[in-house]
Amino acid sequence: MIHAENVSKRVQVADSELCILKGTSLEIKRGESVAIIGPSGSGKSTLLGLLAGLDEPTDGDIWLAGEHLNALDEDGRAALRLKLVGFVFQSFQLLPGLTALENVMLPLELRGDRRAAKVARDYLERVGLAHRLDHYPRQLSGGEQQRVALARAFAPQPDILFADEPTGNLDAETGASVNDLLFSLNAQSGTTLVLVTHEPILARRCARRITLSAGEIVEDSGEVVPA
C-alpha cells in the first residue's frame, strides 16, 4: 500500500543543511496498522508528511497505492489524497467557521458526494455527537473536537488513515476513549493506519511499530516479527 525507498529529507537552516530523514525505507501493506514512535524531533511528523504526499522528499521514492508520488505534482498528490487518504491531527484542525456537521461534510463535498450530509450525520452519530451537529468547534471540548475530526477522517472511507499524535492534546482518559473510537472505526472499515505517537499504550495497540531516532529507523517490529 505504501512503499518508501531510501527517502531522505534535508532542509536549509541559516547557512547549514539539516538532515531530518536519512535514507529511510519501508513497506506498509494494505490493512496494516503501524505506529511510528521515537523521541521528539526524531523526524516522525516529517516522515508521515512525506508518506501522505504532503511534502516532497529531497531524495528517494515513495509509492502510495501503487502511484509513484515523485511523479506527481502537488495537485496530482491532492487528487490522490482525495481518493485514498484521511487525516487526524494533534491539533484537530477543524475549520472554525464551519459547524461540526459541515466539517465532516467537507471532504465528502470536495469529492462531489451528493449524500454528504447524510453520511456525515451518520458518522457523527457513530462518534457519539449526534446531538452536537450544529455546534461550532469553539463550542466543543478538545475530546469532542477530536471525535469530530475522527468522523471527518473516516466518513469518506479512505484506504489509508494518517494520524499525527491524535491524542497528544488530550488528557489520558479522554485520549483513551478517542483511541478506542479510532481503533474500532479502523477495525470496522479495514483501513490501513499510520499513526505517530508518543504513547506506548497506543503504540502497542498497533500491529507494527517503527522506531525513529535522529532521522533513522532504528527498530521495526514488522521486520523482526515475521507476519
Partner 1 sequence: MNHLRWLMREWRGGELALLLVSLVLAVTIVSGVAGFADRLQRGIVGESHKFLAADLVLKTPRTLPDSALDKLPSVVERALVVEFRSMVVAANAMELASIKAVSDSYPLRGELTVSETPFGAAQTTLEVPASGRAWLDSRLFPLLGLEVGDELQLGELTLIAERALLTEPDRGTSFYGMGPRVLINAADVARSGVVQAGSLVDYRYLFAGTEEQLQAVKTSLQPELTASERWQGLDDSQPQIAKTLQRAERFLLLAGSFGVALAGVAVALAARRYSQRHLDTVAVMKALGAGSRQVTSLYVGNILLLAILATLLGWVLGLGVQNALFAMIRDLVGFSPPAGTLRPLLAGAITALLCVVSFALPPVLRLRSVPPLRVLRRDLGNESLSSGVSAFAGIGGLFLLMLWYTGSIELVLAVLVGVSAILGLAGILVLRLFSAMRGWAQGAGGVLKLALSAMVRRRQANAFQVVSLALALMVLLCIIAARSSLMKEWQLQLPADTPNHFLINIAPEQVGPVNDWFERQGIDSAGVFPMVRGRLVTIDGRDVQEIPEIEANRGSVNREINLSWSDELPGDNRLTAGQWWPDASASLPRVSVEDEFAERLGIAVGTKLGFRIGGLPLEAEVTSLRSLSWDSMRPNFFLLFEPGVLDSYPSSSITSFYLDATDKVLLNDLLRQFPTITLIEMDAVIRQARTVVEQVSAALELVLVLIIGCALLVGVANIQASLDSRLHENAILRTLGASRQLIRTCLLAEFAMIGLVAGLLAGVGAELCLYLIQTRLLDMSASWHPLFWVVSPLGAAFVVAVSGWWFCREVIVAPPLQVLRRL
Ligand X SMILES: Nc1ncnc2c1ncn2[C@@H]1O[C@H](COP(=O)(O)OP(=O)(O)OP(=O)(O)O)[C@@H](O)[C@H]1O
Shortest distance, CB of residue 175 to partner 1, whole angstroms?
19
Residue 225 interacts with ligand X (CB under 6 A): yes or no: no
Of 12-20, 93-101, 126-134, 149-157, the window that binds ligand X (rule: CB under 6 A) is 12-20
Q: Assess contact for 160 and 85: CB atoms under 8 A.
A: yes
Q: Does 130 bind ligand X (CB under 6 A)?
A: no
Size of the residue set binding Mg ion (CB under 5 A): 1
Please state, in angstroms and rounded to a whole number, the distance separating the CA atoms of residues 223 and 210.
Answer: 9
* Category of 38 on φ-ψ map: left (φ > 0), alpha (ψ -120 to 50) or beta: left
Which residue number, 78 or 207, has a Cβ lying nearer to partner 1?
Answer: 78
- Choose the contact partner of 128 out of partner 1, Mg ion, ligand X, none; CB within 5 to 8 A by kind: none
Binding to partner 1 (CB under 8 A) within 37-56 occurs at 45, 48-49, 52, 54-55
Single out the segment in contact with partner 1 by CB under 8 A; choices: 26-34, 103-111, 166-174, 183-191: 103-111
Residue 219: strand, helix, or coil: strand
Name the CA dihedral angle for 152, 157, 159, 164, rounded to a multiple of 10 degrees.
20
Q: How far apart are CA 208 and CA 213, in angstroms?
A: 17
Place of cell 496498522: 33
Binder to Mg ion among 24, 33, 42, 45 (CB under 5 A)? 45
What is the closest distance, in whole angstroms, from the C-beta atom of residue 17 to partner 1 in the complex?
18
Which of 42, 146, 179, 186: binder of ligand X (CB under 6 A)?
42
Residues sharing a CB contact under 8 Å with residue 19, sequence separation 6 or more, in sequence order: 8, 9, 10, 215
- Contacts with partner 1, 109-128, as mask; x by CB under 8 A: xxxx----------------
> Residue 107, interface with partner 1 (CB under 8 A)?
yes
The H or E element spanning position 211 is strand 208-213
CB pairs under 8 A, 24+ apart, for 180-184?
A: 181/127, 181/147, 181/150, 182/88, 182/150
Asked if 218 is part of the footprint of partner 1 (rule: CB under 8 A), the reply reads: no
Binding site for ligand X (CB under 6 A): 11, 13, 18, 20, 40-46
